[in-house]
A and B are shown apart, each in its own frame.
Chain A
């Protein structure tokens, strides 16, 4: 069963969190030295805080449509100034609000991870990002490869995959740098008494590996986007709890559904019976 976790929280399962963490880690070199960093669709800011929590940042512009998430975002960041903008990035007004918040100062970096697929239209946002890149901003964005699994995510307004990403790529500046994010499988073995991190062996990318996400960077510093990998231990305990909770909730909902269906059947039969009675009386 698909597991829709569109908002990253501390309870999000590690396999999804590590994907977000890696994207922010990949953007960290642009973000760290930027006069202004803008995180579009920042959510609660958990992944950004994991990757950038210790980094001294200048001006941070956090943008999201959800006021509640926006309120939490940025609490763990070490920034000189944090500006929060609640905006719908599918609208010209929302995009204009972001541009206004960025101001006319020195261009910096923009991250836009897992946002585009949520927008009813991405035309205003993509147009603005291309213009901002021309004005000196470096932009890093990502979209998921839903098409490979034919996942019909109820939270996604558009379906993304290799073909859709190629459409997007051709709208971006010619020098855009593209990366494919691929999940890793792994395991660790820890001797009792061991303390501290483990060194992981080098990972050899498979040339034909199907990506889970497509990343594009464009703007003056796009060439600095580097290949990298990140691993965090699985939380089997949490996963088991989550999956059992989901299964039990599903079972309850299915039982309720069956009950409702039974009610509908009974009501339909009763209506038919009453109609028949009415028919026989009128005749």
Chain B
């Protein structure tokens, strides 16, 4: 059996890392896996673990092969998916990607429409599987949770009790990505009363990092593991997540977490057992939760022990690879999803988008109608004979007129 995973690029991202891990696990189960780049390489590839073990093809190279199963891994890769010659096509859904875009962003519609396609679905989180099954009642999504590299995020046999040092907090994510909540996390640590040491892990530097004691990154997995081993708390206030990996990786090294109730957290975060779940838009409450952990070292240790226990029960990449292999064989075995319900869904969604666009155009036309008199006035004010007379008025008008 041979499979192709379509990726947009091989730049640093959790999603691409997951695909690379699956691709390198599959040969153990008699499945040849290749990565297909949906667009030309513009930047050098990130040094993903095991990337060298996996064959990478350009789209034109992949078009010359036949695959048993081809999978899109990002909404934009669903289009080239249909250019490949494959017995079955499927979609490895790692998040509902329309949520990555603001409501007025046209790419949001593109991402949402990709879920209408007549494709089998493999996903990494139960909330995604259940949501997609609500959207597509004909769908039976296959679930393959992401594994954790147990050799890299190697758990200690037991945890040291940390009684006196400042609370060591890690905030991870790109501050430019609105839904990662990095700014909110920095606000929360700034408002803490208790001693702490805050490490911000990010690849970007042109941002306000007030609240962080150090800024590091981008970091390889080994470096992240070493950092988590020194960490008490992973603080993550994301608004959109798929499987929500970073706190789980922290768990493996005995770091508890303070998180929002973001999608994916319900898979492994238990409030008061292995972490603390804080409210949305509540930097003050988050600060108090962190202060509590800084003061109450018995609670901190209990949550860290709970986190380590959760980590021990989480599957390795080897186990995740086994489930992925079974899922791919199941996709190859199943009949192809029917096209008619997919077409009906797509048409309904496009129609909804057309109606939404019509509303926007109507609002724009009404605004234009109301602006016409103002534009006339603008032209009058700009006429040469009146310029000198109306100069003071013009200055005010230029300040307030619509642009």
Residues of A within 8 A of B (CB): 92, 121-123, 126-127, 130-131, 146-150, 152, 158-159, 161, 163-164, 166-168, 170-171, 174
In the complex formed, the residue of A with least CB distance to B28 is A121
Contact A166 B322 (CB under 8 A): no
Within 8 A of A (CB), among B289-318: 309-310, 312-316
A161 to B310, CA, bound (A): 11
Contact B322 A171 (CB under 8 A): no
Contact B29 A150 (CB under 8 A): no
Residues of B within 8 A of A (CB): 28-30, 126, 129, 140-145, 267, 309-310, 312-316, 319, 322-323, 325-327, 329-330, 333
A166 to B325, CA, bound (A): 16
Contact A163 B140 (CB under 8 A): no
- Chain B residues touching A, majority SS: helix
In the complex formed, the residue of A with least CB distance to B122 is A170
A130 to B28, CA, bound (A): 21
Q: A123-B29, A123-B326 are in contact. Are A167 and B145 (CB under 8 A)?
A: yes
Provide the residues of chain A in CB contact with B322, threshold 8 Å.
121-123, 158
Contact B142 A170 (CB under 8 A): yes
Q: A167-B144, A170-B143, A174-B140 are in contact. Are A127 and B312 (CB under 8 A)?
A: no
Min CB gap B180→A, angstroms: 25
Provide the residues of chain A in CB contact with B319, threshold 8 Å.
158-159, 164
Give which listed residue, A121, A130, A159, contacts B29 with CB less than 8 A: A121
Min CB gap B373→A, angstroms: 62
Contact A167 B330 (CB under 8 A): no
Contact A171 B330 (CB under 8 A): yes
A149 to B309, CA, bound (A): 8
5 closest A-B pairs by beta carbon, nearest first, are A147-B313, A150-B309, A150-B312, A150-B313, A167-B143
Contact A127 B126 (CB under 8 A): no
A123 to B312, CA, bound (A): 23
Contact B315 A127 (CB under 8 A): no
Min CB gap A168→B, angstroms: 8
Provide the residues of chain A in CB contact with B30, threshold 8 Å.
92
Provide the residues of chain A in CB contact with B141, threshold 8 Å.
170
Contact B143 A166 (CB under 8 A): yes
Contact A123 B329 (CB under 8 A): yes
Contact A127 B309 (CB under 8 A): no
Can you pick out 14 interface pairs between chain A and chain B where the beta carbons lie within 8 Å of each other? Answer: A123-B29, A123-B325, A126-B326, A131-B333, A158-B315, A158-B319, A159-B314, A164-B319, A164-B323, A167-B143, A168-B323, A170-B129, A170-B143, A174-B140
A152 to B312, CA, bound (A): 7
A126 to B327, CA, bound (A): 10
Q: A148-B313, A150-B313 are in contact. Are A166 and B126 (CB under 8 A)?
A: yes
Provide the residues of chain B in CB contact with A161, threshold 8 Å.
313
Provide the residues of chain B in CB contact with A123, threshold 8 Å.
29, 322, 325-326, 329
Q: A148-B313, A150-B310 are in contact. Are A163 and B145 (CB under 8 A)?
A: yes
In the complex formed, the residue of A with least CB distance to B315 is A159
Provide the residues of chain A in CB contact with B28, threshold 8 Å.
121
In the complex formed, the residue of A with least CB distance to B328 is A123
Provide the residues of chain B in CB contact with A149, threshold 8 Å.
313
Provide the residues of chain B in CB contact with A171, threshold 8 Å.
142, 326-327, 330
Provide the residues of chain B in CB contact with A150, threshold 8 Å.
309-310, 312-313
A158 to B315, CA, bound (A): 7
A121 to B313, CA, bound (A): 18
Interface centre among B28, B141, B326, B333 (most CB of A within 10 A): B326
